[in-house]
Structure 1
Amino acid sequence: MWEVASNIFLVESSCNPQPSYRAWCAVESLSRQNPDAHIWYVITSPMISDGDGLVSRLRRRYRNLQLVTIDQQQLFSNTPLMDVYTAGLWLTNSTWPAVNLSDLLRLALVWHTGGFYADSDFICLANVTTFKNVIGVESVFYNPLVHIALPNSNGYDSLAANGAFHLTRHHPLLHKLMTFLSKNFEAMTKVLKTRCGYHLRVGEECVGVTLLPTSVFYPVAFSDWKRLFQPAPYLHVSKMFPQSALLHAWNKVSHQKPITPGSFYDAIAATYCPVTHRLATKLSQFY
């Protein structure tokens, strides 16, 4: 089932049979913008609700979309994640077990098959199948320790995130990440710095991976997330984000923020996840 040219994965790890419309927008936008890729929405619930008919509509519209459940025990077997999964440390040592499980699942999925992974609070603006062995930088910030260690640098450091990345099957970095994750659930930046040096440089290749600038996957900064929910009557996405393939909506802080007609997010959703947008706005004033 998994042996295909281009895999794109999303994961629903909270055992929720009814993902939010925003999650379905992520699924639809990736399916729409990548018609030649196989989009795998991996769910941990034994069933998915289609009470509003959205799932049926999306599956009819996008033939490249697959909703699948997995045998987690089999997925983690023969990986460094097996012990931490079977011991249940991801479940008992955290206030966010679904997030920890998602971290485990994404690495194991890409390890076995290779492909692109994206969190379900992105909207896909452009085809992502051209990316190979890349990790998106979430933010760039001034770090005085970098300035001390590297006096000739400008002192800026990068935070690499696991929210959107592509890695080929059995990539060595994946094995390092899984090994580290079995002991610490904040792996990406720490592993990269261990392998690539203290100062992560955007655009440079290290351990066979290129760090992409924030403009590619995270064009709206975390500090500016409220902008997504403000009025945007004259939005031109291609002009505003000419270098962006994804747009991150920062669901951790924005999930309770209503999406109103004419807002920034609403306008983008209407274009990039039209089926989801039409149904969501029909059934609810806010979604």
Structure 2
Amino acid sequence: MVFHRPLLLVSGAKRLKLLLYALCMIIVFILVIVYNWSTAVRQDSSCFIQTDFQSEARSLPKTLGDVLLTEPKPTPGKTIFFLETSCPHNPHSLQLTARQACAIESAALHNPNFQVFVLFASPRNHPQDNSSGINEPLIDAILSYPNVQLRQLNLMRYAADTPIDDWFKDGQLFRSSYMVVHISDLLRLVTLYRFGGIYMDLDVVFLRSMENVPLNYAGAESDTHIANGVMSLAPTGFGHQFAASCLREFQRNFDGSDWGHNGPGVITRVAQRICATKNITMMLKDRKRCLGFQVFERNAFYAVPWVNWRHFFEPQFLKETLEKTKDSFLIHVWNKHSYQHPVTVDSAYGKIAAQNCPRSYAAAGKYF
């Protein structure tokens, strides 16, 4: 009969070997995690690293035109911009979700005298190229509006000759813990610096026109913060200076470990300096105090706060939500929290989408 001695009775040398083996396994496990994380970061970074190569060969797909090089270019001060900064699983795939298409269509529908530019931060195939064989009815739906344009941008070229140029080349942005989010935060500021106009998140739905709203505005999200999901700046004068101040603030106080510090935090801190107060209520009441920059009350863009995002999607909140947003310019559905929630026809979002982005709503079918 063989008896197995407990670990405590094993010789000192064998105990040491077992402990060293366990330690080695732990180290290997940690290295695997670090490697996978760093590989994911490199892959995400490479999504945004572009060359100027654009194939004219028949065997290669044609890509979208560069926003700085392709006509028509955005009309300064009369363009609504959307940014798509994700890295597609299918490289260069030109796809939009139903909610993104709804945001774009509602902007084009309610603002026919403005251009609507959708900017992709990584290379995407031109919609006329169908080499993938994928049918994209949502792309067809938004391109049925004559004022919608799809473009891609080259990050290095886009940042060149702006106040962020030298800082961007340092690469700190690509070491952020929230790289894609912070790229989006930066690009919306660069876009308004270059062209002025209106920036919108892709999780909004326009309810009415904003063509006659004077430029230079954003909306309060709370009593302490101005949000950066809806921003407007004039292409010259005060608006251009405001955009430059935001870019300098972005790089001076950049924090790659904080999700919102470089987004809502930037425009909030710049507005506080310009308005000479940290009190959002005072900004709302006195536009002259802010030198012409208007901070809209929450009802304008964020009538439903993020903590109540379910109110857009659950039928029992239909009447309450429609009443709360009836005087809003648009709704913001907080996609960070709501993107997996199904949409039903008897929800507030379903009703609003059917009316304000009818072609996208129809094209999406049951997968809206």
CA distance in 2, matches of 1:162, 1:41: 17
Runs of 4+ in 1 over 4 A off after TM superposition: 232-240
User: Structure 1 residues 84 and 255, CA, compared in 2 at 3 Å: closer, same or farther?
Assistant: farther
Using the TM superposition, give the Cα deviation of residue 21 of structure 1 relative to its aligned residue in structure 2, in angstroms: 1.2
Within-5 A mapping of 1:57-206: 57-60=141-144, 62-94=145-177, 96-131=178-213, 132-140=215-223, 158-170=224-236, 171-183=240-252, 184=254, 185=262, 186-196=265-275, 197-200=277-280, 201=282, 202-205=284-287, 206=290
For structure 1, list consecutive stretches of 5 or more residues without a partner in the other structure: 141-157
What's the offset of the Cα at 1:15?
Answer: 3.3
Aligned partner of 1:21 in structure 2 is 98
Aligned partners of 2:139, 2:97: CA distance in 1, in Å? 12
In angstroms, what is the RMSD of aligned CA positions? 2.2
CA distance in 2, matches of 1:236, 1:8: 29
C-alpha spacing 1:203/1:42, structure 2 compared with 1 (3 Å)? farther
Q: Percent identity?
A: 29
Tell me the TM-score normalized by structure 2. 0.67
| Greater CA drift, 80-89 or 62-71 | 80-89
The residue type paired with residue 194 of structure 1 is: R
- Which stretches in structure 2 are left out of the alignment for 5+ residues? 1-72, 128-133, 255-261
Q: How far does the alpha carbon of each residue in 1:181-229 deviate from its partner, in whole angstroms, 9 at most, with x for none?
A: 1132231112222332221221422043011001111111122111111
Counterpart amino acid of residue 32 in structure 1 = L
Offset, 1:107: 1.0
Pairs aligned (count): 265
Higher helix share: 2
1:203 to 1:119, Cα distance in 2 relative to 1, 3 A: farther
Shift of 1:255: 1.2
Q: Which has the bigger relative contact order, CA under 8 A and spacing at least 6?
A: 1
Match of 2:345 in 1: 261
Kept in 2: contact 1:25–1:269 (CA 8 A): yes
> Residues 26 and 124 of structure 1 are in contact (CA less than 8 Å); yes or no, is this contact kept in structure 2?
yes
What's the TM-score, normalizing by structure 1?
Answer: 0.85
- Alignment of 1:244 with 2:328, yes or no, is yes
1:239–1:254 Cα change, 3 Å: closer
CA shift at 1:55, angstroms? Answer: 0.9
Pair 1:39-2:108 in alignment? no
Residues 95-118 of structure 1, C-alpha deviations (whole Å, 9 max, x = no match)? x21111111111111111110111
Q: Which has the larger radius of gyration?
A: 2
Q: In the aligned structure 1, how far is the partner of 2:323 from the partner of 2:342? A: 26
Name the structure with the higher strand share: 1
Whether 1:220 and 2:304 are equivalent positions in the alignment is: yes
Letter in 2 for 1:181: F
